[in-house]
Homo-oligomer: A and B are copies of this chain.
Amino acid sequence: MMIYFEDVQVGSRHTSPSVQVTEAEILAFACAYDPQPMHVDRKAAERGPFKGIIASGWHTAALVMRLVADARPFGDTEVLGLGVEQLQWPTPVRPGDTIHSESEVVAARPSKSNPAYGIVKLSITTRNQKGEVVMIHSPSCWVPRRPPVSQ
């Protein structure tokens, strides 16, 4: 079901499914996109401040995108990001962690530049299996306005 801007309600909440992150996936992502020792080198990571491998923050962000896409907060309407106002990684994601996200619609306004769209701002908190917050972010998304009914 397509959801249009007019259907989005400020205050509505979604809880995503959860996903477990493996060490192999953390290493593969980091080798491709963030090949720093704390993400790819077990021995160096053990000597570092986190005492073991941690996921790249951008890997955490990618995993959260997958959780949000699977939660389908706008039904069949795609989640198209315009930007993110604030992004924090208070606790790192480690091999074996299971994370899930909770999102809330915090604002919705018509686009000034494109009358066919509205801009919906979400606040998303992602936690690990211990309830520790691993990521907070507030993305703003383009959501199409309902097309006028043909007469």
Where the two chains meet, the residues of A that have a C-beta atom closer than 8 Å to any C-beta of B are 29, 32-38, 56-59, 61-63, 65-66, 69, 78-89
CB <8 Å contact, B34 and A80: no
In this complex, which of A33, A36, A82 has the most chain B Cβ atoms within 10 angstroms of its Cβ? A33
30 CB < 8 A contacts A-B: A32-B62, A32-B66, A33-B62, A33-B63, A33-B65, A34-B65, A34-B66, A34-B69, A35-B66, A35-B69, A36-B69, A36-B78, A38-B78, A56-B65, A57-B81, A58-B61, A58-B62, A58-B65, A59-B62, A61-B61, A62-B62, A82-B88, A82-B89, A83-B87, A83-B88, A83-B89, A84-B84, A84-B86, A84-B87, A86-B86
**How many angstroms between the C-alpha atoms of A79 and B35 in the bound complex?**
11
What B residues does A87 contact at CB under 8 A? Answer: 83-84, 87
Q: Look across to chain B and name the residue whose beta carbon is closest to the beta carbon of A33.
A: B62
A57 — nearest CB in chain B belongs to which residue? B81
| A35 closest partner in B (C-beta) | B69
